[in-house]
Structure 1
Amino acid sequence: MHRDDRSVNLPTALSPERAAEINGVIDRITCWARGRADIVGLLLVGSCARNAARPDSDIDVVLLTTDESRYLLEDAWAVELGLGLTRTQSWGAITERRYSTVSGLEVELDIGSPAWARTDPVDHGTRRVVTDGARVLHDPAGILADLLAACS
């Protein structure tokens, strides 16, 4: 399953420029992820997924990979995406890497293994993230579709 070509429908409280920037970053990350065999899932979560982003909102994306160390120990991929690292924080099964674009838009990439999307049973924290708003961006094996179904 892949993200369709429709842009995220962001609320009118955002300027057209900010909405276009958010959609551009989401599209850039999605296209980049599709070219990497180790990325097995990309999930937009939070306010952007709920179509409730405000001018001060960040972009929250869960990136599931079979090679976590590649994204936790190396930064060339983030530079390729035009992102500058601001901090890293571990949340158990997920490691948050917070980035900033040149304009100051914050992008939170939560990096974890496919086990984060396990459905038997769904982890409490995972369920909370998904039920707060989630939109599949890249899901070649269908694990995120299964997770969303299990959380609905």
Structure 2
Amino acid sequence: MHHNDQPVGTALSPERIAEIDEVIDRITRWAEDRKDVVGLLLVGSCARNAARPDSDIDLVLLTTDESRYLAEGWARELGLGELIRTQSWGPITERRHSTASGLEVEFGIGSPTWAKTDPVDPGTHRVVTEGARSLHDPAGVLAGLLAAC
């Protein structure tokens, strides 16, 4: 389900909807070509089809090689724009980028253990239940998490 399925009156322009969808599709295709990426999860307002004009794209990237994504090259390869913030949130490291249009793309980068289900971490549970859509899940790690939540 794409963002054109939003309720009427959200004031998200067709151009912004197209941009959000294009960025999500580009990142999903990129993730599918990476053997170390074991999960890509869209979370937040975009996953709920409730994005507003000031919304960002929130993604959780689960990888067996976290250090690779704490460097810059991969984000440039994706055309994500300028890195505007890096912050650690325990098991996840946030990397927030701003594209040329001002659209912000936030990656929460972590290991596959972020998605453990026995038990589900309270923070992970909150992120998932507030809106989550699996974009890339070759081993079913995210399917198990979504089912547990």
- TM tier relative to shorter chain: over 0.9
Instruction: State how far apart, in whole Å, the 1-side matches of 2:63 and 2:4 are.
Output: 27
- 2:77 counterpart of 1:80: yes
* 1:49–1:134 Cα contact (<8 Å) kept: yes
- 2:5 counterpart of 1:7: no
Instruction: State how far apart, in whole Å, the 2-side matches of 1:33 and 1:119 are.
Output: 23
- 2:90 counterpart of 1:92: yes
Matches of residues 93-108 of structure 1 in structure 2 within 5 Å?
A: 93-108=91-106
Deviation beyond 6 Å, 4+ runs, structure 1: none
| Deviation (angstroms), 1:103 | 0.5
1:20 to 18, 28, 35: 18
**What is the identity percentage for the equivalent residue pairs of Structure 1 and Structure 2?**
77
Instruction: State how far apart, in whole Å, the 2-side matches of 1:38 and 1:8 are.
Output: 28
Give the aligned partner of residue 62 of structure 2: 64
Which ranges of structure 1 fall in alignment gaps of 5 or more residues?
1-5
Q: 1:95 to 1:10 in 2, by over 3 A?
A: farther
Give the aligned partner of residue 140 of structure 1: 138
Instruction: State how far apart, in whole Å, the 1-side matches of 2:110 and 2:142 are.
Output: 13
Give the aligned CA root-mean-square deviation in angstroms. 1.0
- TM-score after normalising by structure 1: 0.93
* 2:2–2:49 Cα contact (<8 Å) kept: no
Which ranges of structure 2 fall in alignment gaps of 5 or more residues?
none
